[in-house]
Amino acid sequence: MIALKKQRELTLTAAPSAGRPLHLSAASGLVCLGSAMYVVADDELHLGVFSTKDDRPGQLVLLFDGALPDEKVARKRHKPDLEALTSLPAFEGFPHGALLAVGSGSRPNRRRGALLALDLSGAITGAARGLDCSAILAPLADVFAEVNIEGAVVVGDELRLFQRGNKQHPDNAIIRYPLAAVIDVVTGTRADALRPMTIDRFDLGHVDGVPLCFTDATALPGGDVVFSAVAEDTDDAFNDGACVGAAIGIVGNDGQLRFVRRLDRPYKIEGIHAELDGNRLDLLAVTDADDPDMAAALYAATIAI
């Protein structure tokens, strides 16, 4: 089993809005660029920016105007549910690339996204641009009983989205798109439906009868992808449940499942970053506390592969 070591809690210099705590609680996507660690939270309208060098409180970058209700049920109903975060290479108007945040697509109001330009050092520059990702996410309703996109990675000239299953529909999948077509969507030059090139489904195993299901992913050099997965005891893509297990694994660039390794404790990992050093894989992961009063945490581990 993989043992994670807690590094810090995701505390903030300022609350996202009046009455909200000074931390992120529902960390759901992670990208590390240089000394910056970017964390998207599925119950906020902001992106968290933290340092990988120290544990100082992070800062927030606004993704969407407006405000979400404070009451938990109402907030869950209205939130954009940003679950996936990835970095895009340079393209027209974005000479140093961009961060792309994508909603889960599990409801029509969860098909939003955000685009943030990066500078040469990988820092965010300028204001976020809100996106309508319906051209990508809406067609998936024809494929999956419940759409629930939890991860996104760029591998070469492809964008790969990770569909998360649940107990009722344990339908984990990697969905591949031409990156050029995705950039046409996010830049507004294409609005018609974007169909996947391929969809590959995966059985990640079970913990106490609950299926392990994708929660995030990050790419390695050569095209292999490291993913996180949790066994959450819920029958749908909307309601939370108890996390009874978690795992980290690798899918090769050829689409084959290399391995799935359990974590020693059922951390609800929803964001992951990995760096490869020979046969050593250095991991960072962030958690979703499922409780606004509890701070999400950053964990680290090193494994041999």
Identify the pLDDT of residue 261: 97
Q: Residue count of the chain, please give it.
A: 305
- pLDDT for 246-266, tens place per residue? 999 999 999 999 999 999 999
Cα separation, 295 vs 249, in Å, equals 25
**Taking a C-beta distance cutoff of 8 angstroms, is the pair 7, 286 a contact?**
no
In percent, the amount of the chain with pLDDT more than 90 equals 89
Distance CA 225, CA 220 (A): 6
Quick check: 238 pLDDT over 80?
Answer: no
Give 164 or 71, the one with higher predicted confidence. 164
Range 174-180 average pLDDT: 98
Check residue 194 and give its pLDDT. 97
With bands split at pLDDT 50, 70 and 90, how would you rate the model's confidence at 180?
very high
Average of pLDDT values for 178-192?
95
Counting beta carbons within 10 angstroms of the beta carbon of residue 280, is it exposed (0 to 12), middle (13 to 18) or buried (19 or more)? exposed
Contact 14, 28 (CB under 8 A): no
**C-alpha dist (Å) from residue 192 to 93, 112, 125:** 22, 16, 29
The pLDDT tens digits for 65-109 are: 999 998 888 999 999 999 999 999 999 999 999 999 999 999 999
Question: Residue 75: its pLDDT value, please?
Answer: 92
Q: How far is CA 32 from CA 161, 188, 195, 199, in A?
A: 18, 27, 29, 27
What confidence tier does 132 reach under pLDDT thresholds 50, 70, 90? very high
> Considering only CA atoms, which of 161, 155, 157 is closest in space to residue 176?
161
- 């000074």: which residue's tokens? 22
Q: Give me the helices (H) in the chain, please.
A: 72-78, 134-137, 179-186
Q: Which two tokens stand for residue 242?
A: 């108890």
User: With the CA atoms of 159, 174, 188 and 271 taken in that order, what torsion angle do they form, in degrees rounded to the nearest 10?
Assistant: -80
- Supply the pLDDT for residue 290: 84
Task: Compute the distance between CA of residue 36 and CA of residue 91 in angstroms, rounded to an integer.
Answer: 21
Instruction: State residue 237's pLDDT score.
Output: 65
Q: Give the C-alpha separation, 248 to 257, whole Å.
A: 11
Tokens coding 253: 């660039």
pLDDT tens profile 1-55: 999 999 999 999 999 888 889 999 999 999 999 999 999 999 999 999 999 999 9
The pLDDT score that the predictor gives to residue 102 is: 98
What's the start-to-end Cα distance of the chain, in Å? 13
